[in-house]
Chains A and B, each alone.
Chain A
Amino acid sequence: MPASPSLLIVPARFKTGKLYTQIATTSAGLVLGSSGDFNVTRATTATRFNSAGVIESVASGVPRLDYYTSGGTAGCPALLVEPSAQNLVLNSDNTATSWTLGGNTASGYVDVIGVSGNTITASASGSIASTVFVRRVLNTALASGSTYTVSFLMRQTGAHTIGGYWIGIVGVGDLGGGFDVSGSFSSGAIYSPAGAINRIRRVERWGTDVYRCSETFTLTASGTLDRILMGPLATVSSVVATVASGTQMSFAAPQIELGAIPTSFIPTTTAAVTRNADVISVTGAVSGCIGQTEGTIYAEVDIRNLTDGRILTLFKTSAQYILLSKSTNRLGGAIIDTTSSPTTVVNLQTASGSLTSGIYKLALAYKQNDFAFYVNGTSVATSNSGNVIGDYNIIRIGNFDTSLFFNDRIRAAALYTTRLTNAELQSLTTL
């Protein structure tokens, strides 16, 4: 039997505090107008990758339609939902201001996809350890046991393809990484203090000859973040290898933040800056759009960060809800009730370790003793045991009760008040 969505949102129109829903019709046949639209809260500005492929600021409370797509090209946009984050690097929006150049270094202003950066040229041969860098003094406490991520944009301006960063952490030691942006990319550690573990380096293309390089690490000792340096490197794994005079790379948008992934760039000047989380939800009459005894919850997402996050949640309380989620290694659809035993009604997931970056369409269909979870046109798991709690009255996009933010891009979401057939689920989720 064909079915029509009771709620469908393809993020497309917005204003401060609001994200417009295309379709919202209750099971009683009431067509919702503005009461079906999502409320958006983010009490700070934030940045996005715009339609021109440039990083730009978005005003407080405005949801972010982000145009970043695979390969760093501007493509069809999607809703970027991120948690709160703080950039600890000062003067990150202009590395020519209050940054210090190494002795044998020439510097020139360069725009790196909308962010003021520096082209660093070795005016005499040297290494990043001696002269060839741009440096900013910081003075920030870092906590033992916490995970941090360093990121920056690097633009290739000539034939040279290798550059890197180096941070000094008093009490821990120097930590640094090198990145080669040629070919299929490679990276290495240039400083490896004993107090930093679980190091993960990444390179993502963010435009023509522009790459976002990042490294995540966990501290096993507390320390003080003293400084950050960036410069061209001769190899990805040696801070002392000498680069030839004339070697050149450009750097911009440095960021050090708490967390396991690099989030969107946060410009700073003379102090650390916090970007608040994107809290997006709707309640009220829209509860009539939710299948309370049976239904289907669907989303289309662009996943690039393998972190725990909630994609779409039908919320009754923090103990009773239906959701679509991602974790570090899998996708899931679940109906949870922690007020009774067993606490998990149904939890259907893809195989552990199966999640990689890419576009996914996923749907969870639910009805008493009849559950199915489909991803990209394939049945992942089914269950013939469990009840549906009902009385769900809040719809959240990209978060769970203002936590577990998605940290990725949502292309579309929909609800149905019927449990779609398996054939319909297959059709709906086929890429």
Chain B
Amino acid sequence: MLIGYGYGYPTNQLLGGGNPFWLAFNQRADADGALPAEAAVNGCLQTRFLNSFQSYDFFVFYSNSWLPFMQRANTDSADAAEVRFINCLEVRMYNLLNA
């Protein structure tokens, strides 16, 4: 099984000191002309964001590995396992990575 890592996020974001998802969110807001970020944005609000996940580790896996995998397959018109079994396959992959 090929497993992507850090998919979709430039290396400089991963090395930038901030959370890559938070950085990407702010870059999108900046590009869209959002009002300048206030001091709390990269302080307590970033912390609140990270604490809002039921499982942040799983979200990282989902965003960096599972979601790009599914998107690539969809783009290639791939068939998929029955919908109600998708989640268990996702978890199987997650467990394999974290074994």
A344 within 8 A of B: no
Q: Is there an interface contact between A51 and B48, defined as CB atoms closer than 8 Å?
A: no
B46-66 interface (Cβ within 8 A of A)? 46, 48-49, 52-55, 57-59, 62-63
Q: Is there an interface contact between B34 and A29, defined as CB atoms closer than 8 Å?
A: no
| 0/1 interface trace, chain A 50-61, chain B, CB 8 Å (1 if under) | 010000000000
Q: How far apart sit A411 and B40, CA to CA, in the bound complex (Å)? A: 13
Evaluate whether A15 and B40 lie within 8 angstroms (CB atoms) in the complex, with A4-B59, A22-B22 already known.
no
Evaluate whether A8 and B52 lie within 8 angstroms (CB atoms) in the complex, with A20-B34, A418-B87 already known.
yes
Evaluate whether A2 and B55 lie within 8 angstroms (CB atoms) in the complex, with A10-B45, A15-B34, A33-B28 already known.
yes
A7-21 interface (Cβ within 8 A of B)? 8, 10-15, 18, 20
Contact of A4 among B28, B49, B55 (CB under 8 A): B55
Distance (whole angstroms) from the CB of B19 to the closest CB of chain A: 10
B71 within 8 A of A: yes
Q: Is there an interface contact between B58 and A29, defined as CB atoms closer than 8 Å?
A: no
Q: Is there an interface contact between B35 and A25, defined as CB atoms closer than 8 Å?
A: no
Q: Is there an interface contact between B52 and A300, defined as CB atoms closer than 8 Å?
A: yes
Q: Is there an interface contact between B49 and A22, defined as CB atoms closer than 8 Å?
A: yes
**B28, B33, B43, B70: most-surrounded residue (chain A CB, <10 A):** B28
Evaluate whether A2 and B48 lie within 8 angstroms (CB atoms) in the complex, with A20-B28, A22-B21, A29-B67 already known.
no
Contact of B62 among A4, A13, A22, A75 (CB under 8 A): A4
Distance (whole angstroms) from the CB of B20 to the closest CB of chain A: 12
B9 within 8 A of A: no
Q: Which residues of B contact A31 (CB under 8 A)?
A: 67, 71
Distance (whole angstroms) from the CB of A90 to the closest CB of chain B: 32
Q: How far apart sit A4 and B62, CA to CA, in the bound complex (Å)? A: 7
Which 5 interchain pairs have the tightest Cβ spacing?
A: A2-B58, A76-B44, A13-B29, A2-B55, A4-B62
